[in-house]
Structure 1
Amino acid sequence: MSSALTLARPYARAAFELARSRSALGEWAGKLAFAAQVAADARVAALFGDPRVAQADLAALVTPADEPADSPFTVFVRLLADNRRLPVLPEIAALFEQLKNEAERTLKVNVRTATPLGSEEAARLKEALKRRFGRDIQIEQSIDPEMLGGAVIDAGDVVIDGSVRGRLARLGQALAQ
């Protein structure tokens, strides 16, 4: 069987094009994130293969409660259900988010530090990363108490290790040579 990403890619592109044509990328990203979270729940995932549960019921389960029955998003989710693609909703949402970030020229960056960044530090870091990557930066911070100090910045394909441990390791390598 094909991988989940292969199955999800055309649906993510279709959702992206539909949302972009309606200038509703943010709205669709939120709805897809909700649907993906519901679909990823183990109790819901168990229902996807159950022949006793109608596909329409599964579609209604992953659709936000306040979503109109005739909205493009509801129609999209019903299409996924009819094609038995609801299990790949987490992958569809992730691919949609990537397409959205590319279209909006936004880069999601994870900053791992030992202590929380102050707002001034975060603003300086955001500005420096914006200059380096030429894109708007969206920072997600995670705290790692195992770190001695500094920060590790994960910007997709680029990882910048500015941690104390990383600096000490590089210094040790330089001294060994």
Structure 2
Amino acid sequence: MQALTVARPYARAAFAVAREEGNLAAWSQALGFAAHVAADPRVAALLPNPQLAGTDAVSLLAPADASETVSRFLTMLADANRLQALPEIAALYEQLRAEAEHVVKARVTSATALPAAELESIRAALKKRFGHDVELDTAVDESLIGGAIIDAGDVVIDGSLKGKLARLQTALAD
């Protein structure tokens, strides 16, 4: 929870600059890259080292095509010793971007890979429910036995066989 508290103002600042530049997608890509690199255990162990200069950290984390403002943002994070918060900053930035673009991001986890037609049906139903475009991410979890779980932020729809069995078990135990 503390990591999100630390990351929130930085994510908002990055979003404000990106929106002002009209460059939301490029910032999204750059922050995603930096967050991915920062989350690597080897890099994460290196970032707090006081012997690592801020410019070296930025050159390690910034993508080759990063804009000057992205590099300055990463330098500011390095100067404030906040590079470890990059994964949270990137995630919060993505939430702000999705809200601004009126897009709902949903994850569909199913027991087996779903056909494209079924995913499109789920996308259409979610679009109708939320009134926004829906961006689907898919995953396979064989332990679900059958069905799927749809996670769209605050809304979770558990239609998995595993979930149904767990609810049945709870009902029978009462």
Which structure has the larger Rg over C-alpha atoms?
1
Going from structure 1 to structure 2, the CA distance change for 1:169 and 1:38 (only over 3 Å counts) comes to closer
Give the aligned residue type for 2:26.
E
> Partner of 2:107: helix, strand, or coil?
strand
Shift of 1:167: 3.7
Match of 2:114 among 104, 110, 117: 117
Match of 1:164 among 161, 166, 173: 161
Going from structure 1 to structure 2, the CA distance change for 1:67 and 1:157 (only over 3 Å counts) comes to closer
Match of 1:145 among 139, 142, 145: 142
The residue aligned with 2:29 is 30
Give the aligned residue type for 2:111.
A
Deviation track 1:72-130 (CA, whole Å, cap 9, x = no partner) reads 11111111111111111111101101101111111111111111111111111100011
Going from structure 1 to structure 2, the CA distance change for 1:175 and 1:82 (only over 3 Å counts) comes to closer
The residue aligned with 1:45 is 44
Match of 1:92 among 89, 92, 96: 89
The residue aligned with 1:154 is 151
RMSD: 2.1
Distance in 2 of aligned mates of 1:113 and 1:120: 14
Distance in 2 of aligned mates of 1:78 and 1:105: 31
Q: Which moved more, 1:165-174 or 1:76-85?
A: 165-174
Distance in 1 of aligned mates of 2:107 and 2:36: 20
Structure 2: 5+ residue runs without aligned partners? none
Deviation track 1:2-29 (CA, whole Å, cap 9, x = no partner) reads 9222221111101001111112111111
Going from structure 1 to structure 2, the CA distance change for 1:64 and 1:173 (only over 3 Å counts) comes to closer
The residue aligned with 1:131 is 128
Deviation track 1:139-163 (CA, whole Å, cap 9, x = no partner) reads 1111111222211111111111112
- The two structures have a TM-score, normalised by structure 1, of 0.89
Going from structure 1 to structure 2, the CA distance change for 1:21 and 1:31 (only over 3 Å counts) comes to same
Going from structure 1 to structure 2, the CA distance change for 1:176 and 1:56 (only over 3 Å counts) comes to closer
Structure 1: 5+ residue runs without aligned partners? none
- The two structures have a TM-score, normalised by structure 2, of 0.90
Shift of 1:46: 2.0
Give the aligned residue type for 2:112.
T
Distance in 2 of aligned mates of 1:124 and 1:166: 21
Match of 2:74 among 50, 69, 77: 77
Q: How many pairs align?
A: 174
Shift of 1:169: 5.0
Give the aligned residue type for 2:32.
A
Going from structure 1 to structure 2, the CA distance change for 1:170 and 1:36 (only over 3 Å counts) comes to closer
> Partner of 1:53: helix, strand, or coil?
coil
> Partner of 1:21: helix, strand, or coil?
helix
